[in-house]
């Protein structure tokens, strides 16, 4: 099973910014992937992700989810098999 993600269809508006939320799922050997938000956001100005407590990883900050921003794409780096939630806010497209 490959990395997959979903987007909540109800974005949140904060002044001139929009916040988008969703979930991610990794297969047993997958360690993250890209979430293209260009249809909703021109640029991402902040983002984060959380691993589900019942998924892979030892915790204590050792192997959680690492979030990178590449323009309007959110890049998640995770432990193999880790699932969780993500959020991003930025300027609207």
Per-residue pLDDT tens over the stretch 28-74: 888 899 999 999 999 999 999 998 887 777 666 677 789 999 999 99
| CA separation for the pair 36, 21 (Å, rounded) | 12
How many beta carbons lie within 10 A of that of residue 31, not counting itself?
15
Q: What is the pTM of this model?
A: 0.85
What is the phi/psi pair of residue 59, to 5°? Answer: 80, -160
pLDDT score at 12: 84
- For domain 4-87, which CATH number applies: 2.60.40, 3.40.50, 2.120.10, 1.10.3470? 2.60.40
Extents of the domains making up the chain: 4-87
């Amino acid at each position: 099973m490959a990395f997959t993600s979903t987007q909540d269809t109800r974005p949140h508006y904060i002044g001139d910014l929009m916040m988008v939320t969703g979930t991610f799922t990794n297969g047993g050997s997958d360690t993250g992937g890209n979430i293209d938000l260009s249809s909703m956001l021109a640029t991402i100005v902040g983002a984060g992700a959380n691993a589900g407590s019942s998924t892979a990883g030892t915790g204590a900050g050792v192997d959680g989810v690492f979030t990178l921003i590449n323009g309007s794409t959110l890049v998640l780096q995770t432990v193999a098999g880790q699932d969780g939630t993500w959020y991003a806010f930025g300027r609207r497209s």
